[in-house]
Amino acid sequence: MGLKIIKPGPLSLLQDPGRFGWRHLGVSVSGPIDLQAAAWANHLLDNRWEAPLLEIALGGVELEAEVDTWLALTGAPMGALLDGRPVPAWSRFSIKAGQTLKLGFAQSGQRAYLAVCGGITATPILGSVATHRRDGLGGLQHNGQPLKAGDHLPCIAAPDAFDQTRGAAGRFIPDYREAPRVRLIIGGDGERFGPEQQARFFENTWHVQPQSDRMGIRLSGKVPLVPPTRQWSLGVLAGTVQVPPQGQPIVLMADCQTMGGYPVLGFVHPLDLGRLAQCPAHHAVHFIPAELGTVQAELRQFYSFFKNHALGLCPSQEGSLV
């Protein structure tokens, strides 16, 4: 019992913070492509930081509640309707057994995150339920497949978990219509690019290409970069900015490979990756330089807030494997 999927939309994936400790075997971390939106969805329900939730690409999802519980919806606004009544974006709300939640298609941005009180119950594979389609890991069926019509998302009944709806403060809600200013730390082969190529990267207006996905965001600009020659591969992770020979950068994302041979210009601020992931095809992106120390301090603050405030006040299912 829990939530029944009536319409799964183009791509709906079960996710949690990711699959750590396996990169030496070529297993990607995976997890939500917009970490901030996912963290807020669980936070609004006082869920544990690692509680599994649903990542919904583009929208078009319809589900029916089989229990009385509370949900939270963040990320791209999709004109959500609960039995025909509008549901505010970036809020938590109650749902009764038999009620239907319908999501339209993204009005801005690309992905929404739907969390349920106590988290979705699923069996972890290599320590995580995160769905990685290319590696065939995670998800409800443990094989990396996205959700399909008729699937059930197991969760507990929690009708009395809260006594009122709640939303995130407006200052925390991104405007996905704007061209983001993405912070980048020069690193990897950055020095070998030289000052001229670094300046060209920051001065360019880049545009997201339609071939982008959870593995990487491909960019194009009027003035391509001239990358240095690389003779060997090296380890890569989400946020790595690779520059292939044609000079159009690729920003690696949650489902990226663990090794790569293209020269690396630097690394995107982890908290800006989600904003980049929400950009539709042809959306403009600007990059600005960032300092390592500043990024580290902001990451510590982020994790301290969301992990320390993940009180787990929503009741969890006894014996849950997640």
| Whether the Cβ atoms of residue 265 and residue 190 lie closer than 8 Å to each other | yes
Residues 228-248 have pLDDT tens digits of 987 788 899 999 999 999 999
Q: What are the CA-CA distances from residue 54 to residues 3, 98, 225 (Å)?
A: 11, 20, 37
Model confidence at 293: pLDDT above 60: yes
Distances (CA, A) of 193 to 3, 260, 272: 51, 17, 23
pLDDT of residue 321: 27
Helix (H) or strand (E) run with residue 217 in it: strand 216-220
What pLDDT, in 10s, does the model give residues 66-106? 999 999 999 999 999 999 999 999 999 999 999 999 999 99
Please give the Cα distance from 103 to 84 (Å, whole number).
11
- pLDDT of res. 292: 95
Residue 311 pLDDT exceeds 90: no
Question: In whole angstroms, how large is the CA radius of gyration of the chain?
Answer: 20
Which tokens sit at 174? 């991104």
Do the strands 91-95 and 166-167 form a parallel or antiparallel pair, or are they unpaired?
Answer: antiparallel
Instruction: Classify each residue of 154-184 as buried b or exposed e, where b means 16 or more C-beta atoms within 10 Å of its C-beta.
Output: bbbbbeebbeeeebbeeeebbebeeebebbb
pLDDT of residue 11: 97
- Helix (H/G/I), strand (E/B), else coil: 186: strand
Side chain identity at 217, as an amino acid letter? Answer: I
Q: Judge whether 15 and 57 are in contact, CB under 8 Å.
A: no
Whether domain 181-290 has CATH 2.40.100.10: yes
Ordered by start, the domain boundaries in the chain are 2-174, 181-290
Nearest to 155 by CA among 69, 94, 239, 261: 69
Q: DSSP for 60-121?
A: -EEEEESS-EEEEEEES----EETTEE--SSEEEEE-TT-EEE--B-SSSSEEEEEETT---
Q: Mean pLDDT over all residues of the chain?
A: 92
In Å, how far from its chain's centre is CA 6? 23
Tokens (6 digits) for 112? 């929404």
Question: Which has the higher per-residue pLDDT, 163 or 215?
Answer: 215
Is the pLDDT confidence value at 322 over 50? no
27, 28, 29, 34 alpha-carbon torsion, rounded to 10°: -160
What is the secondary structure of 231-290 as a DSSP string?
A: -S-EE--TTEEE--TT---EEE-TT--SEE-S-EEEEE-GGGHHHHHTPPTT-EEEEEE-
3-state secondary structure of 220: strand
Smallest CA-to-CA distance from 21 within 165, 171, 126, 176 is with: 126
Q: What percent of the chain has pLDDT over 90?
A: 84
Return all residues near 178 (Cβ < 8 A) that are at least 6 apart. Answer: none
Cβ within 8 Å of residue 10, ≥6 positions away: 57, 58, 60
Question: Is residue 318 pLDDT above 70, yes or no?
Answer: no
